[in-house]
């Protein structure tokens, strides 16, 4: 049967296929970025656009096909053909949606999409109502199916390629053109396979009547494609973009936007990062409530907005009380000046729900290039510098240096190895004697834990105890130290050396109801009398619930154990609580001992000694290194001392040797005195 094509409408069908392919590429590029239900929104939108586009192209091509007879279309079959195209596209996209895609999933997905296109085309052909019989050339039929499968595989590969590339660039347009021509190639090859045999007596109609149902259906579908495409992109830019890349409390860009900033700035030099952390935020959250904390964050974010300079400088909230300022083409002088301005602004008073709040910030600064292979280096450096700023006393700024980086690497190594140190028996305990100058007698030992690292040597507790407190390892470490000290004290007692041993406690031990059980267990294991154990706490315990601390200390003292406050006068002031806290002694920090020639320090020590006498507390001076220290302290009323003058921290064998030397020296002195008297 003779037939012809309207070339203008054929061109229109190709344009529709290209535009539908481009829209589908653009929409499906959002799938990899989306989370949760949003991912299925983009998945469905992409399948609808792709399936409807292929369907529209097919029936526009049918409108271009003129067979010189009246042709109408069955509504039900036409709708089914469209459904086949959309559903097959959805299945194909769903199968290939995961990021860990492999060739098997592409093969299955391509097969579903290709089969759907073939089904759509030939169901659409069956929808034709005309005075003719329809048959197919098997060669061209098979060729059309092969082209449909090839077009489907090409489409999926292009979708996967553009999943992380949502820009409207030339490469995407070229890909859309390739996809559009592939789809059109399948359609017109399928039409080439069709054979129309008019019914007997059917007259040719050279003025073929236009099927308005098909015309309206195709027009409506194209409108739906445009509506879904534009609507989805509008929704993405004005709703999803806001949800995904904007902080809900402050309205500032969030961590996702920060990551995008990193991606767009990869390779640029002299990017400055200011890592800002509020100093008193946790205390405000815990005492005044999270609604006040959120209000504070909101006001801080509002103040930081004034530092935004489009194209030059951006502010982000990356979580909790942490903010970030990123500056392009930044140098150290500008970064430090900017940090000072931010600190001045943050510390101004806040009024929230009737509360007058004063908050400071700590800022870490790092400057350098953002490398695509490791975009987080600058951020980690700024974070490290921020913690250094907190350590300097808060309301400070600190610039990152390589030395900090070395310390951070060392700290990470210590944290990693600390988990196995107990198991590998790398900890050991040393003991430092305490001496009563008035009686010239030994009055006890302080047990000090040390870590013999297999590669780094002996690590000071100043380094590893804070790590142990952060990781929770302080609990098993303290249990081990208590048991070791009690066991050693018992061994000395068996030798006739009846001297108490003191052990330092972390304030973290007061956070759980384990202190009493910990001490009782250590005493029972060593079969040691409680009077021979002394626990040393620090003033930082006042940060915890003071009433709870007092209760727990009273429980421990019921075992006969003594309690002393270590480093008194250097931390959080607890003078107002000394009459309530169950203590037996105060230990003066070496800070006072090393500055005894200063009248003000001597006046402070004298005041502490007088106060301790009234409270019936013993005073112990640490850091005693020479005879001059002893004379000063004795004159001020302090008689119990600890320091290198009497003995440095020693292991149990060295302590035994030290005790023997002291015994020999005492016996020699007594013999000399007796000889002189006779």
pLDDT of residue 166: 45
Question: What sign has the CA pseudo-torsion 171, 174, 180, 182?
Answer: negative
pLDDT the model gives residue 210: 47
* Separation in Å, CA 73 to CA 124, 142, 192, 206: 8, 25, 20, 19
pLDDT at 499: 93
Q: What is the mean pLDDT of each run of 10 residues along the chain (678 residues)?
A: 69 77 68 63 75 74 72 81 82 70 74 81 81 84 84 72 56 73 79 79 51 56 60 56 74 85 76 91 83 91 92 89 91 93 93 89 89 72 88 86 82 88 92 92 94 91 90 92 95 92 90 88 94 89 77 93 85 70 88 80 87 90 88 89 91 88 64 52
| Token reading at 33 | 């970025």
- Among 498, 476, 364, 346, residue whose Cα is nearest residue 422: 476
Q: Which pLDDT score is estimated for 307?
A: 93
- What per-residue confidence (pLDDT) applies to 532? 95
Euclidean distance between CA atoms 190 and 140, whole angstroms: 7
Greatest alpha-carbon span in the chain: 157
Closest to 44 in 3D by CA, of 109, 89, 81:
89
Phi, psi of 430 (to 5 degrees): -115, 160
Look at the block and give the residue holding tokens 């007259």.
203
Tokens 């301005």 belong to 341
Complete domains list, the chain, with CATH:
4-243 (no CATH), 255-400 (3.30.70.270), 420-665 (3.20.20.450)
Half-sphere exposure of 555 (CA within 13 A, CB side): 15
Distance, CA of 447 to CA of 489 (rounded, Å): 10
Residues whose CB is less than 8 angstroms from the CB of residue 529 and which lie 6 or more positions away in sequence, other chains included: 523, 560
Beta bridge mates, 399: 365
The b/e string for 155-170 (b: 16+ C-beta within 10 A; e otherwise) is bbebbbebbeebeeee
For the four alpha carbons of 332, 334, 337 and 340, in that order, the dihedral sign comes to: negative
CA distances from 131 to 98, 213, 571, 649 (A): 49, 18, 100, 109
């Amino acid at each position: 049967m003779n037939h012809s094509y309207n070339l203008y409408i054929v061109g229109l069908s190709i344009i529709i296929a290209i535009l539908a392919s481009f829209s589908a590429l653009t929409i499906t590029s959002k799938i990899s970025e989306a989370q949760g239900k949003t991912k299925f929104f983009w998945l469905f939108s992409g399948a609808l656009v792709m399936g409807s586009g292929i369907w529209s192209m097919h029936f526009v091509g049918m409108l271009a096909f003129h067979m010189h007879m009246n042709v109408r279309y069955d509504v039900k079959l036409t709708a089914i053909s469209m459904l086949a195209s959309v559903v097959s596209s959805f299945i194909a996209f769903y199968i290939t949606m995961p990021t860990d895609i492999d060739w098997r999933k592409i093969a299955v997905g391509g097969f579903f999409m290709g089969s759907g296109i073939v089904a759509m085309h030939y169901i659409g052909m069956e929808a034709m109502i005309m005075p003719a019989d329809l048959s197919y050339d098997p060669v061209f039929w098979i060729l059309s199916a092969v082209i449909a499968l090839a077009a489907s595989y090409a489409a999926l590969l292009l979708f996967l390629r553009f999943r992380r590339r949502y820009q409207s660039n030339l490469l995407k347009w070229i890909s859309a053109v390739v996809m559009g021509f592939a789809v059109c190639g399948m359609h017109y090859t399928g039409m080439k396979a069709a054979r129309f045999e008019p019914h007997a007596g059917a007259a040719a109609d050279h003025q073929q009547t236009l099927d308005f149902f098909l015309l309206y259906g195709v027009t409506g579908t194209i409108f739906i494609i445009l509506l879904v495409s534009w609507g989805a992109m509008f929704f993405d830019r004005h709703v999803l973009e806001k949800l995904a890349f904007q902080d809900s409390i402050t309205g500032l860009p969030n961590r996702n936007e920060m990551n995008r900033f990193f991606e767009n700035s990869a390779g640029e030099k002299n990017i400055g990062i200011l890592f800002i952390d509020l100093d008193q935020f946790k205390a405000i959250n815990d005492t005044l409530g999270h609604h006040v904390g959120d209000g504070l964050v909101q006001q801080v974010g509002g103040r930081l907005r004034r530092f935004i300079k489009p194209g030059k400088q951006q502010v982000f909230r990356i979580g909790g009380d942490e903010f970030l300022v990123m500056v392009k083409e930044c140098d150290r002088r500008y970064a430090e000046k900017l940090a000072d301005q931010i600190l001045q602004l943050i510390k101004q008073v806040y009024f929230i729900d009737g509360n007058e709040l004063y908050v400071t910030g700590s800022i870490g600064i790092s400057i350098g290039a953002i490398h695509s292979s490791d975009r987080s280096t600058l951020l980690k450096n700024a974070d490290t510098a921020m913690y250094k700023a907190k350590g300097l006393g808060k309301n400070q700024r600190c610039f990152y240096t390589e030395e900090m980086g070395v310390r951070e690497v060392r700290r990470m190594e210590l944290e990693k190895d600390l988990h196995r140190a107990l198991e590998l028996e790398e900890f050991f305990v040393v003991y430092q004697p305490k001496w009563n100058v008035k009686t010239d007698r030994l009055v006890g030992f302080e047990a000090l834990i040390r870590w013999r690292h297999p590669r780094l040597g002996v690590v000071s507790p100043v380094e590893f105890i804070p790590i142990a407190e952060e990781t929770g390892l302080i609990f098993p470490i303290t249990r081990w130290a208590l048991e070791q000290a009690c066991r050693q004290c018992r061994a000395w007692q068996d030798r006739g050396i009846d001297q108490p041993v003191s052990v330092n406690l972390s304030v973290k031990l007061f956070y759980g109801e384990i202190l009493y059980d910990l001490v009782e267990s250590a005493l029972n294991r060593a079969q040691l009398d409680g009077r021979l154990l002394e626990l040393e706490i620090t003033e930082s315990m006042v940060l915890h619930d003071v009433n709870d601390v007092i209760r727990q200390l009273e429980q421990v003292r019921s075992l006969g154990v003594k309690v002393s406050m270590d480093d008194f006068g250097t931390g959080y002031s607890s003078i107002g609580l000394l009459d309530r806290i169950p203590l037996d002694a105060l230990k003066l920090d070496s800070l006072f001992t090393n500055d005894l020639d200063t009248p003000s320090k001597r006046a402070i020590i004298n005041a502490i000694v007088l106060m301790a006498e009234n409270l019936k507390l013993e005073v112990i001076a640490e850091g005693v290194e020479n005879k001059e220290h002893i004379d000063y302290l004795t004159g001020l009323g302090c008689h119990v001392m600890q320091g290198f003058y009497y003995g440095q921290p020693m292991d149990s064998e060295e302590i035994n040797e030290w005790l023997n030397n002291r015994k020999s020296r005492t016996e020699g002195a007594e013999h000399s005195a007796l000889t002189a008297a006779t």
